[in-house]
Copies of this chain bind each other. A is one copy, B any other.
Amino acid sequence: MSKKSMAAARVLSQNLLAEGIYDLWLETPIAQDACPGQFVGVYPTNKSTLLPRPISICEVDKERSAIRLVYRVVGSGTAEFALYQPEDYIKILGVLGNGFPLEAAAGKKVVVMGGGIGVPPLLETAKRLAAAETAVKPVKVSAVMGYRNSETFLSEEFAKYADMFTATEDGSIGTKGNVIDAMREQNIEADVIFACGPMPMLRAIKNYAQEKGIKAYLSLEERMACGVGACLGCICKTTKVDHHSHVNNARICTDGPVFDADDLDM
């Protein structure tokens, strides 16, 4: 595993992707080691808020030594991030977490599934799966992304790397309903699922995967303080006693955020 650091990152660009959803490219050495499913902690400069905000890595550009973050404005930290301009410097902590086990998709039909602000980390995932060397290449990469309404984002980019399917809650685009509804409606085949999104969606995926005998890897969210495994703030319940905690708790920031669905007690 690469060494974690906290360092300044340079803003390369920032764009609005959809209502309240921003697309931020940062230049940082972290890019060299970043894997899909990992995340960084972004520090607000407002001194009343001191904790880093966990934001997933959406895309990596090793040539420019840059990472892409796609985030939704929900509170004071993300509202501040939305103001950043090219050439600004911000502090980030990373690279954090384990990332998706891409090798588990070797020779398999893999579906990446995202819901809402869980969509972004699947983009680099799809990209790497599509670009994998022959020995570890999946036989097929599909993407199923769920949104609230027609304010979708990143869809066209997924289409570059995967068979792309969309579900919207209001039915304005693609399947009306959630990602599982799309799976069923479109008869999308899967041996392995990589997913990120809200807890109810992840629960539904776990059940669906169990029912169909699919291997599922789920990326979880929890309130974090340290981001590096020290504070024990961000745990999830596990079915087995965890190797680190010796209780049925794993640290999402360090042992996750991606877990084998079978190991999760959700």
Interface residues of A, Cβ cutoff 8 Å to B: 46-49
Contacts and interface: CB of A to CB of B under 8 A. Distances in A.
Nearest to A50: B48
A49 B47 CA distance: 9
A48 B49 CA distance: 9
A48 B47 CA distance: 5
Contacts of A47: 46-49
Contacts of A49: 47
Contacts of A46: 46-47
A-side interface mostly:
loop
Copies in the complex: 2
A19 to B, nearest CB: 27
Nearest to A76: B47
A46 B44 CA distance: 12
A46 B49 CA distance: 11
Nearest to A47: B48
Contacts of A48: 47-48
Nearest to A46: B47
Nearest to A49: B47
Nearest to A45: B46
Nearest to A48: B47
A197 to B, nearest CB: 32
A82 B135 CA distance: 59
A77 to B, nearest CB: 12
A224 B76 CA distance: 29
6 contacts: A46-B46, A46-B47, A47-B47, A47-B48, A47-B49, A48-B48
A3 to B, nearest CB: 30
A46 B47 CA distance: 6
Nearest to A44: B47
A204 B46 CA distance: 44
A50 B257 CA distance: 37
A87 to B, nearest CB: 14
A49 B49 CA distance: 13
A231 B34 CA distance: 53
A48 B46 CA distance: 8
A49 B48 CA distance: 9
A151 to B, nearest CB: 31
A97 to B, nearest CB: 29
A47 B77 CA distance: 13
A134 B265 CA distance: 89
- Which 6 A-B pairs give the minimum distances between C-beta atoms? A47-B48, A46-B47, A47-B47, A48-B48, A46-B46, A47-B49
A43 to B, nearest CB: 14
